Amino acid sequence: MASSTMSSRVSAPTAPGANRGWSRILGGRTAMLFLLLMLALILAALAELIFGAVNLSLGEIYRALMGEGDALSSAIVTEIRAPRLFLGMAVGLGLAMSGCSLQGVLRNPLADPGLIGVTGGAAVGAVATIVLGDAIITDLPMAVRPFLLPVAAFTGAAFVTTVVFGVSRRAGTTSIATLILAGVAINAIAGAFIGAMVYISDDRQLRDLTFWTMGSLGASNWTLVLISAGIVLAAVAGIARMGRALDLFQLGERAAYHAGLDVEATKRNVAILSAIAVGAATAAAGPIGFIGLVAPHMARLIVGPEHRLVLPASALIGTTLLLFSDLLVRTAVPPAEPPIGLATSLIGGPFFLWLLLARMRTRGGGVNGGGFNA
Amino acid sequence: MKLFMPTIAGLLFAGGAAFSNGVAADEAAPQRIVSAGGDLTEIVYALGAQDRLVGVDSTSVYPAEATGKAQIGYVRRISPEGILSLEPDLVLGAYDMGPPAALDQLRAAGVAVALAPDQETVDGVPAKIRFVGQAIGLPKQADALAAEVRSAMVAEIEKAQAWTGERPKVLFVLTMGESGLTVGGTGSSAESIIEMAGGINAAKSIEGYKPMTREAVLAAQPDVVLMMQRGADQHGGTDKVLERPEFALTPAGKNKRAIIMDGMLLLGFGPRTPQAIAELGEALRKNGQ
């Protein structure tokens, strides 16, 4: 990592410490773009409420939302679609914002929450609950049981992130290179643990854990949705204020330090907040791939490299992508419903491939260009 | 499994109360039924109520017409709204239907959800048939079918037990990969049917459906390899399967003893179980000569 050189190319035009106001940044074109992104999100949110396997008229949906609908439409709107909508927004927001901040702080276009082991840790917690949880779950009161898996997943994510950062922190500084390598190692260990769980699982547990790893917004109940959405929002609120810090990071750590940024605090905060946001999202909906990776890239293509713009744009794009993916799986082959991981990867995979190819063409090979200098 | 038992008990009570009303007056019997379980679908067909069936899960492959019904997907990952779009008044589910939140959402929408008991015994299959009959408002027909299936099962089991030849060690192979096999061990449904048909489970050292290494297969020395039709086809037919190194040196491989049966017939534990015991028992006795 050429993190210590001032010569790192930066495509962001912002000079360190430049303090341009929102009014200037949000010029006509950018304001228009954000308006469009918001419109897309509103459309996606409405579509999530309006469309589904059951055909409901707008009137029925309105009455259900007002609490005047019949049992069927009320149950569909308030117990099935609305919690999905909220959970989908929270998950999309959490994944996109943490992906964006991680890519920024690691200065690595391939960074996503999976890279530093958050998703792997959550998977270990969830899979252990699916396979080993039968033994302890009978001792728990009924009301607590649905939360065993989310809590285990969240704990796993938090624990693994702590280990990864603990390993890469020496003498008060966190080495980005070590961080990524430690993430790789931890992911390998998590993979081995999951493999062991797969080995001792029975047929049914195996299917359960396979489906869990493909993600779903389906099992949403309101309590779970509100808790995880609350956690995600709190973490994301912290990330949202780090736009300037992330811009400075693009100059390299030393330059950022000399520009007055507390580099260590930034790294630590991004890691903690991302782990919390992704841990909560994964705990409630399983590991949903590609949103965290792709939403920030799309945002950069649309609004340019400044993180003050990229962060909110990623948030809008991530939520929109996730809601449309959910709409796709809910309406593709009714009455069945494929896992949402299929849809996000189906949309995200080709896009990412296109992004790589486009970069290679415009920059004559290599994918280290763009706003990143890894 | 423990996880679901209290839920099931609760459901059976709730369901039982609801059904007793439905059974009393026939016009109140459910008219749009979704079945999430291949065995339950078979029972609905056997009771002649297939016209009221509006949706089935991915394990409902017999009779073949059932696959023409709307497909709700995998029984552990149902979509509540998908099922509601079929406008059912009853959802019949295998005991492990889920996720639990989806079942709650179905009930919140006013749909009766009834989960079947899970038993793979001589009494369990008739109990399942009576359960379905109660749920869909055909208790008399179900009693008759249950009695018929029970006596047929008993007869086939007695026939199998009366056989005086040496009991063959049967290895049920669920799936085959490059590194090993997944076999039916102690407590698996495959073991139940093997024992009913007069065989001995060759994979007693394993619990449930689990992988078994090639060496463990050699050590188990099965006399017969039992496979599902699809599994055998995937690997190039029985001869190719028996030529695999783990089988070639066992009695099954040396004597070319493999039995291929339809998976749902063999492991469904529905109305066709007497037929499954008869077919498997016959094949075991023939192989044993």
- Which pLDDT value is given to residue A177? 82
A334 → closest Cβ in B3, B85, B211: B85
B176 has which bridge partners?
B181
Helix (H) or strand (E) holding B201: strand B200-201
CA distance B270 to A156: 42
pLDDT value of residue A319: 95
Q: What is the pLDDT along chain B (289 residues), one digit of tens a residue?
A: 344 444 444 444 444 444 444 444 455 799 999 999 999 999 999 999 999 999 999 999 999 999 999 999 989 889 999 999 999 999 999 988 988 889 989 998 999 999 999 888 899 999 999 999 999 999 999 999 999 999 999 999 999 999 888 899 999 998 887 767 889 999 999 999 999 999 999 999 988 888 888 888 999 999 999 999 887 888 888 888 898 888 999 999 999 999 999 999 999 999 999 999 999 999 999 855 5
Answer yes or no: do B210 and A202 touch at CB < 8 A.
yes
Question: How many A/B residue pairs have CB atoms within 8 Å?
Answer: 111
Contacts A133 to B, Cβ<8 Å: 3
Fold classification of B2-150 is Rossmann fold (3.40.50)
CA distance B228 to chain A (A): 16
Between A14 and A319, name the one with better pLDDT.
A319
d(C-alpha B47, C-alpha B136), whole Å: 10
Q: Which residue has the higher pLDDT, A354 or A82?
A: A82
Interface list for chain B against chain A, based on CB atoms closer than 8 Å = 1-3, 6, 55, 58, 70-74, 76-86, 96, 99-102, 104-105, 108-110, 174, 182, 207-211
| Test mutation, B77, B96, B106, chain A, max A CBs within 10 A | B77
Assigned token pair, A19:
């303090």
- What CATH number belongs to B163-287? 3.40.50.1980
Output the average pLDDT for chain A.
84
By the 8 A CB rule, do A119 and A287 touch?
yes
Terminal-to-terminal C-alpha distance of chain B: 40
Q: Is residue A12 left, alpha or beta, with left meaning phi > 0 and alpha meaning psi from -120 to 50? A: beta
pLDDT digits over A229-238, tens only? 999 999 999 9
The ipTM (two decimal places) reads 0.74
Pick the residue from chain B with its C-alpha nearest to A211. B77
Distance CA A161, CA A158 (A): 5
The whole-number pLDDT of residue A26 equals: 58
Flag if A75 and B209 touch (Cβ within 8 Å).
no
Contacts of B164 (CB under 8 A, 6+ apart): none
Question: Is B74 in contact with A211 (Cβ distance < 8 A)?
Answer: yes
Q: Where are the domains of chain B?
A: 2-150, 163-287
Element (H, E) at A351: helix A340-363
CB of A98 closer than 8 Å to CB of A280: no
Instruction: Say whether B163-287 and B2-150 share the same fold.
Output: yes
- Provide the pairing of β-strand B181-184 with B200-201: unpaired
- Greater confidence (A139 vs A35) lies with A35
What is the rounded distance in angstroms from the CA atom of residue A64 to the CA atom of residue A327?
Answer: 20
d(C-alpha B227, C-alpha A48), whole Å? 45
Output the pTM of the full model. Answer: 0.79
pLDDT at B27: 57
pLDDT digits (tens, 9 = 90+) for A146-205: 788 899 999 998 898 888 888 888 777 888 888 888 888 988 999 999 999 988 887 778
Which secondary structure element, helix H or strand E, spans residue B170, and what is its range? strand B169-176
**What is the C-alpha separation between A371 and A244, in angstroms, rounded?**
15
A38-48+85-363 — its CATH code? 1.10.3470.10
Read off the pLDDT band of A298 (50, 70, 90).
confident
Residue type, B213: T
B83-106 core/surface letters (b: 16 or more CB in 10 A; e: else) = bbbbebbbbbbbbbbbbebbbbbb
Q: Determine, for residues A336 and B81 on separate chains, whether the beta-carbon distance falls below 8 Å.
A: no
A240 min Cα distance to partner chain B (Å): 33
Q: Which residues of B touch A143 (CB under 8 A)?
A: none
Total H helices, total E strands in chain A = 17, 2
